[in-house]
Amino acid sequence: MKNPLESLHTTIVLGLVLTVVMVLIINAMYS
Amino acid sequence: MHIDPAYWTFFFRWLHIMSGVMWIGLLWYFNFVQIPSMPKIPDAEKPAISKVIAPAALFWFRWGAMSTIITGLIEAYLNGYLTDAIAFGLTNHSIQATRIGFGMWLGTIMWFNVWFVIWPNQKKALGIVQVGPDEKKAAGRTAMLFSRINTMLSIPMLYAMASASHLPM
């Protein structure tokens, strides 16, 4: 199976997803 | 001449930002420009990249990473939030320390990848360290994939760094 990080577009999408996850975690810590 | 201590925190922030621009700018150059362009370059002209441009870019890339982490740690220490940020703000219940903590940890993982994965493998891939053809190919792929990991991590890292200072509490 091809590594998703071989695609630059997928890399950027994964980075954006990680950003959303991080923001949700931080918000949950302070809710 | 007396210099206000607050000036030094600003001074190291300035150095930190300049170093970070050098590091992440070159990271994005590798991933957005150099790696996608290599297949389009004729084999006879590839050494211009692999023997001249890439080694020079990698020099400023890895020392930019080193300078970024050192000036960042100094800045965090001078601002008084170093330990709270390392603990993700759990020690002082500060959302700003939590945000900068995420940025610091992501940046630290990226710095580790640069110095202990990407650079050692790039030395093999570029022929700075002599290895067999199979190991050379494998080293190039490992360096590329960890460079991609850093590109991925740079997106939440920069969000965390910027939000710590610029998002409301």
* pLDDT (tens place) for every residue of chain B, 169 residues total: 788 888 999 999 999 999 999 999 999 999 999 999 999 999 999 999 999 999 999 999 999 999 999 999 999 999 999 999 999 999 999 999 999 999 999 999 999 999 999 999 999 999 999 999 999 999 999 999 999 999 999 999 999 999 998 888 7
C-alpha to C-alpha distance for B144 and B148, rounded to whole angstroms: 6
Contacts of residue B29, defined as CB under 8 A and 6 or more positions apart, other chains included, come to B57
Cα dihedral sign for B10, B16, B19, B24?
negative
Report the number of distinct structural domains present in chain B: 1
Give the chain B residue whose CA is nearest to the CA of A2.
B145
- Number of neighbouring beta carbons within 10 Å of residue B14: 12
Residues B112 and B65 sit within 8 Å (Cβ to Cβ) = no
- pTM here? 0.94
User: In this predicted complex, what is the ipTM?
Assistant: 0.96
Cβ separation of A5 and B160 shorter than 8 Å?
no
- Please report the pLDDT score of residue B96 as a whole number: 95
- Say how far apart CA B156 and CA B5 lie, in whole Å: 31
pLDDT score of A1: 73
pLDDT of residue B1: 79
Q: A3–B95: do the CB atoms touch at under 8 Å?
A: no
List residues of B whose CB lies inside 8 A of any A CB.
31-32, 35-36, 88-89, 95, 98-99, 102, 144-145, 148-149, 151-156, 159-160
Question: Which of A3, A5, A17 should we substitute to test contact with B (largest number of B Cβ atoms within 10 Å)?
Answer: A5
- For chain A, the 3-state helix, strand and coil shares in percent, each to the nearest 5, are 80, 0, 20
Burial B36-61 (b: 16+ CB within 10 A, else e): eeeeeeeeeeeeebbeeebeebbeeb
Distance from CA of A14 to the nearest CA of B (A): 6
Structural domain containing residue B18 = 5-166
Out of B102, B148, B156, closest to residue A5 by CB: B148
